[in-house]
Amino acid sequence: MTATWVWITGATRNGKTQHLIDWLSRQSANVECPWLVFAANGDNRMALAQRLAAVIQDRVPYTTTTPAGFIQSEVILFWPLLVDVMALKAQFPLKLRPENEQLLALQLWEPLLDQSLQVEGWSESKTVRRALDLLQLAASAGIPTEEITQRLRAGMMPNLVPMDTWNVMGTALLQWRAWCLERGFLTYGLMTELYWRYLLPLPQYQAQLLDRFSGTVADDVDEYSAIAPFLFQVFKTADRPQAFTYNPNGQIRLGVGADPAATLALAQGCERIQLPHTNSDSLGHAIADDIVQWVQDPLAIPELPEPIQLITATTRGKMLRQTADLIADAIHREAVAPSDIAIIGPGLDAIARYSLIEILSRRGIIVASLKDQRPLISSPFVRALLTLLALVYPGLGRLVNRDAVAEMLVVLSQTPENEASLPWFDLTHIDPVRSELIADHCFVPDIDHPRLLPVENFPRWDRLGHQATAAYNRILAWLSEQKKQQQQRYPVSPVITLDRAVQDFLWRGNYLPTDQLSALRELMETAQYFWDVEQRLALYGGIPREDTLSDVGRFIRLLQRGTVSANPYPARALDGERQGVTLATVFQYRAQRLTHRWQFWLDAGSPRWLTGRDELFGAEIFLSSWPERPVTAADTETMHEARLERILRDLLGRTTERLYLCHSELALNGQEQVGPLLGLVSAIEPLETTGTSEVPGR
């Protein structure tokens, strides 16, 4: 078969992915190796896999992945090769999750953070996070860690941070890199650098790659990093067939690792297919050009069509009420289904999310909040389990207090062990009033040994009732048993203790709500990762620390800082169908590549439509288009204007019937809204809305 390289480009929703699938289905089925099929992210991969299965079935073998997932799996799979090439210690690599990465780097750089790595206006956590992000950006751009300092000195304005600080940060990153590799720790940034710099150039690895895959197919390469062409070049040099799609109005991940200008070079030598704008059902097909022109020209007088309407109010709270009421009324009139509505904002704060979810939920409407990642510590289940750990292990008295104990008693006594399989049985044995009384009289705060006393220490314990007393005694007996096991020669791992607590107190068969299951699953995964890292650190003597907290104490403090989160609202239902009204930021919505009949753009007058920053700190100087000089305010403004045009075209291409601009004259902070879409807002007569619902908490 003669190899061909195909480059498919076009606007949003004009059939690029379908064209890619059709191209793959026409390839020869007489191949022993599968095709390597890429999607931009995990959710896109799942959707692409479903479409491939429906069209191709088993006629052409293929395997789906994402660029990030492929790099991680390849580095782990070919770790022995890297050990030989880089003369590393022969040990199995251990991936660091972001929270572990942040904590360990903070501890390793503690002496520097106290002195030469201090940046005015930056907290220690922000300094560490930005430094680690720079390492990841450099790796994604194909830039060695040793050259990060040079980039920072050449690309950052001198009045931002003293130049000497960039030298220290570059040295700290090299120290971090060497420290991790010596211990076999791998972050995503390190794995990315190891892949493009050491593994991919190896002839034996390239031979293995070509033996395993017949060719490559990559969807939405405008979302891929600058090192992606290195991989695809291996297949091109071997004359293997390849196909790519590219959306000029996409580039969603520009600034968080993607480099569309670099991946555009893949088009060289390819058969180019420019797809016409066929999705005539979208608003973007008819009015995107006009909308962009009106936004870019402040003196223009827009003549907006009827499908674009306005919801306006003086205050943001009233605007949220009116938006929710209009949506609820339309759904109850059956003018539109909940799954056909999306509420999108340039940034969704907790007040907006909570208010919209609460108002719509009261009216019986489900809200699917995309990537609504909340800190694990916000879960009562997690807080109760951490309090339990502080009562089992010694030396943790500073991490537990009376209020935490009272909450723990309520949470852990909700369902009796012998009735956990009954979904309708939800009798609380210790209510908040009784838990407060028990905590007042039976909890003994102590730095080394905080503990619970027998219920008889409460003078009127007989008034607690049989159920509350029995539930409290059960918790006491459980704590006593765990403490006995910790005093044995071979104490039980904290991960096992946590698992026992979940099984004994919280597990209710298959009847836990999704958000609670998600929090518990994330807690157990975080705990397992944490102690895997602790065990590896112990082999190297750990990290010198100023505090004397035990490993359990460090784990509790890690979660109390709120750096670990779970996603209680899955982005996709198990059946692939969306449920309820979609609530998302602009970035989340575009990354999911969703489409709705009706869109509601929150805070239409906000300047965040232009200035909202999705990119990582310093991202501009790691792009292939960087002009090798300090990035100025004019450069940033130009990037923001180009991004706004892509956002407008992309969002309009993803709505088919109506667009509601939701505007409040005053922002959340009370200031007047002066955003780039204000010209559109001023050109529309507002709808008459009642706004009868109340925003919770106002």
Q: What is the pLDDT of residues 408-420, one digit of tens each?
A: 999 998 754 444 4
Question: 426 lies in a domain?
Answer: yes
Asked if residue 477 and residue 390 are part of one domain, the reply reads: yes
Structure confidence at residue 339 (pLDDT): 93
pLDDT at 520 over 80: yes
**Selected residue with higher pLDDT from 491 and 633:** 633
Q: What is the residue type of 663?
A: H
Q: Are 691 and 325 in contact (CB under 8 A)?
A: yes
Angstrom distance (rounded) from CA 572 to CA 588? 13
Question: 83 lies in a domain?
Answer: no
Q: Average pLDDT, stretch 428-439?
A: 86
Which of 70, 3, 9 has its CA nearest to residue 36? Answer: 70
Find the DSSP H helices in 184-246.
188-194, 203-212, 228-237
Mean pLDDT across the chain: 87
Structure confidence at residue 56 (pLDDT): 87
**For a pLDDT cut of 70, what percent of the chain falls above it?**
92
Which residues make beta-bridge pairs with 601?
Answer: 344, 661
Lowest mean pLDDT of 51-55, 591-595, 612-616, name the range.
612-616
- The domain total for the chain is 4
Quick check: helix, strand or coil at residue 677? coil
Angstrom distance (rounded) from CA 242 to CA 38? 11
Q: Compute CA distances 421 → 409, 416, 642, whole Å.
A: 21, 10, 56
Question: 695 lies in a domain?
Answer: no
E strands, 50-207, in order: 62-65, 94-95, 185-186
pLDDT at 554 over 60: yes
565 — phi, psi (to 5°)? Answer: -130, 160
The domain in which residue 164 lies consists of: 99-183
pLDDT at 394 over 80: yes
Angstrom distance (rounded) from CA 436 to CA 432? 6
Asked if residue 344 and residue 319 are part of one domain, the reply reads: yes
Asked if residue 146 and residue 242 are part of one domain, the reply reads: no
Structure confidence at residue 302 (pLDDT): 79
**Selected residue with higher pLDDT from 278 and 430:** 430
Question: 633 lies in a domain?
Answer: yes
Question: 30 lies in a domain?
Answer: yes
Asked if residue 515 and residue 385 are part of one domain, the reply reads: yes
Angstrom distance (rounded) from CA 86 to CA 74? 16
Lowest mean pLDDT of 268-277, 351-360, 431-440, 510-519, name the range.
510-519
Give the pair of three-digit tokens for residue 282.
């979208």
Angstrom distance (rounded) from CA 660 to CA 308? 6
Structure confidence at residue 286 (pLDDT): 82
Give the pair of three-digit tokens for residue 683.
């050109």
pLDDT at 698 over 70: no
Asked if residue 336 and residue 419 are part of one domain, the reply reads: no
Q: Average pLDDT, stretch 16-28?
A: 90
Which helix (H) or strand (E) segment is 369 a member of? strand 367-369
Asked if residue 610 and residue 589 are part of one domain, the reply reads: yes
Asked if residue 495 and residue 464 are part of one domain, the reply reads: yes
**Helix/strand number for the chain, H first, E second:** 27, 18
Lowest mean pLDDT of 109-118, 242-251, 438-447, name the range.
109-118
Structure confidence at residue 695 (pLDDT): 44
Asked if residue 298 and residue 270 are part of one domain, the reply reads: no
Label the pairing between strands 565-566 and 374-375.
antiparallel
311 — phi, psi (to 5°)? Answer: -115, 120
Question: 189 lies in a domain?
Answer: no
Q: Average pLDDT, stretch 371-394?
A: 89
Structure confidence at residue 303 (pLDDT): 82
Structure confidence at residue 467 (pLDDT): 86
Q: What is the largest distance, in Å, between two alpha-carbon atoms of the chain?
A: 89
Asked if residue 538 and residue 419 are part of one domain, the reply reads: yes
Q: What is the residue type of 56?
A: I
Highest mean pLDDT: which of 35-49, 416-430, 551-565? 35-49
- Residue 502's contacts (CB-CB under 8 Å, 6 or more residues apart) are 385, 520, 524
Asked if residue 291 and residue 235 are part of one domain, the reply reads: no
pLDDT band at 574 (very low <50, low <70, confident <90, very high): very low
